[in-house]
């Protein structure tokens, strides 16, 4: 029996082993030395968010305010208490609240929400580096819930402004603020929707909706995009519990910046005015007016002598676009007009009697604006919010004659005028000085001392009467 020669077999096995080694080695090395792609992406996102937060956090501040509120010691309608103790007298106590703000310039201008500092007697701003500085009110705009304050400091870390009009649903955003007093808290999410209006939160609404967690104390804080740019000012939440439920609202940065620039440069908010009352369309109205769809808004009233009147707009016209920008609804048109500079000629695309046409209108300034708040007011009218008169406001108040003055829109609970002046009162004179507009109101009131009596001539329910506010 011949011996089996193993040399060829060994040679073949060696070749097979080498081939298998080279075939599997790259896979083995890859598995050991390379991180799976999915892990790489998560690491990059995490690093990017952390860097973004570090970039923006120094621009976000904590705002604490205090004011004096009046509370009743005893129930007003309890006759037993009245019999033995007399009439209940209001008790004064300090009320403190917290909010957030965003530094917008190196020299100390800060944008926040009007409701954060409205009625505040003292404002303290705490910076990211721990410094605490006194804040001074530059101006308030309750119609958008925007407020501007200033601190005495220089070379501050100002935020970079972004273009809120470029936001889309699904864009990544982060919210930075001080919820529940927890400073420099960061939450992230996406833009849920844009152009939210009709929420009843302000007169001019164009909210950004986000699911980034926003809670009490976040108001006035920053909503920034993936580039670290300010795209919104956190304002409110929709909640049935008082806490975050994934539906938060922010004021667009474009609106906030426009309000801020106007207050700083002009001392007041300047808005455009068209003088038209409109209503949304539905299927039945579209059919009645011979329209193919429900796009645009229906003109139902026009103020005499207004830009709309002079341009030739009529009841029954349907406004579908302004300067080639589609009018989605009444809120959209209101915001478009308000953002237009007075004196600008706009092209209105309308449908009249079923036929499309275009007319030109020259936008004027809306004069019925809230008086700019000023830290100089420290008398019995402190805490009284007013706005100028317009034909629309006079009609709503049931006043048929032409008068000049301001209408009271709110009286804060810490004001000495509380219970004396009422919402809807029209003030036409202060200390025998006639009023023309809200700016004159501020100019006159800011020169009245803390202890001086104030004589007002007020129209209430179309009846004129003198009212005295006593000095403290």
Q: Which residues are catalytic?
A: 115, 145, 219
Q: Which long-range contacts (CB under 8 A, 24 or more apart) does 285-292 make?
A: 289/316, 289/318, 289/351, 289/354, 290/353, 290/354, 291/318, 291/351, 291/354
Which residues, listed in sequence order, are joined to residue 188 by a DSSP beta bridge?
A: 174
Q: Which residues contact 124 (CB under 8 A, 6 or more apart)?
A: 63, 64, 65, 132, 133, 134, 135
Q: Count the residues in the chain.
A: 472
Give CA–CA dist 235/251, Å, rounded.
6
Enclosing H/E stretch for 219: none
Among 376, 390, 398, which residue's Cα sits nearest to residue 437? 390
- Do the Cβ atoms of 202 and 216 come closer than 8 Å? no
Query: Residue 90 CB: number of other CB atoms within 10 A?
Result: 13
Conformation bin of residue 274: beta by default, left when phi > 0, alpha when psi is -120 to 50? alpha
Give CA–CA dist 45/38, Å, rounded.
11
Q: Which residues contact 470 (CB under 8 A, 6 or more apart)?
A: 380, 416, 453
Give CA–CA dist 86/143, Å, rounded.
42
- Do the Cβ atoms of 339 and 259 come closer than 8 Å? no
Cα–Cα distances in angstroms (integers) from residue 371 to residues 235, 239, 386, in the given order:
22, 32, 6
């Amino acid at each position: 029996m011949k011996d089996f020669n193993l040399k060829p077999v060994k040679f073949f096995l060696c070749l097979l082993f080498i081939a298998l080694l080279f075939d599997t080695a790259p896979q083995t090395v890859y598995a050991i030395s390379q991180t799976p792609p999915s892990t790489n992406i998560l690491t990059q996102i995490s690093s990017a968010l952390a860097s973004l937060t570090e970039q923006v956090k120094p621009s976000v501040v904590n705002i604490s305010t205090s004011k004096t509120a009046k509370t009743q010691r005893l129930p007003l309608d309890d006759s037993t208490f009245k019999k033995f103790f007399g009439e209940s007298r209001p008790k004064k106590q300090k009320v403190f609240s917290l909010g957030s703000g965003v530094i917008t310039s190196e020299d100390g201008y800060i944008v926040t929400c009007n409701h954060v500092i409205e009625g505040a007697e003292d404002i303290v701003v705490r910076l990211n580096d721990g410094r605490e500085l006194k804040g001074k009110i530059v101006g308030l705009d309750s119609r958008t819930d925007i407020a501007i304050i200033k601190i005495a400091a220089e070379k501050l870390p100002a935020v970079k402004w972004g273009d809120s009009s470029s936001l889309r649903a699904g864009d990544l955003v982060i919210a930075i603020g001080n919820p529940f007093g927890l400073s420099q808290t960061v939450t992230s999410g996406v833009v849920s929707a844009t152009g939210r209006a009709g929420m009843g939160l302000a007169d001019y609404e164009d909210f950004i909706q986000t699911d980034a967690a926003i809670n009490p104390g976040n108001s006035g804080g920053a909503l920034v995009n993936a580039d670290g740019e300010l795209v919104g000012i956190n304002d409110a939440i929709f909640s049935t519990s008082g806490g975050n439920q994934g539906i938060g609202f922010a004021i667009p940065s474009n609106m906030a910046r426009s309000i801020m620039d106007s207050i700083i440069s002009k001392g007041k908010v300047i808005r455009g005015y068209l003088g038209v009352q409109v209503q949304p369309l539905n299927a039945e109205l579209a059919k009645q007016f011979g329209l193919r769809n429900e796009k645009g808004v229906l003109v139902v009233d026009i103020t005499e002598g207004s830009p709309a009147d002079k341009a030739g707009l009529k009841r029954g016209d349907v406004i579908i676009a302004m300067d080639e920008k589609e009018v989605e609804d009444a809120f959209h048109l209101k915001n478009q007009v308000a953002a237009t500079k007075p004196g600008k000629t706009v092209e209105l695309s309308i449908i009249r009697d079923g036929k499309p046409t275009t007319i030109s209108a020259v936008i004027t300034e809306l004069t019925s604006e809230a008086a700019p708040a000023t830290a100089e007011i420290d008398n019995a009218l402190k805490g009284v919010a007013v706005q100028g008169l317009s034909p629309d406001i006079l009609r709503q108040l049931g006043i048929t004659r032409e008068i000049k003055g301001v209408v009271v829109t709110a009286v804060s609970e810490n004001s000495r005028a509380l219970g004396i002046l009422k919402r809807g009162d029209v003030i036409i004179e202060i200390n025998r000085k006639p009023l023309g507009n809200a700016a004159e109101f501020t100019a006159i009131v800011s020169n009245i001392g803390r202890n001086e009596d104030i004589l007002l001539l007020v129209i209430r329910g179309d009846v004129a009467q003198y009212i005295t506010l006593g000095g403290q």
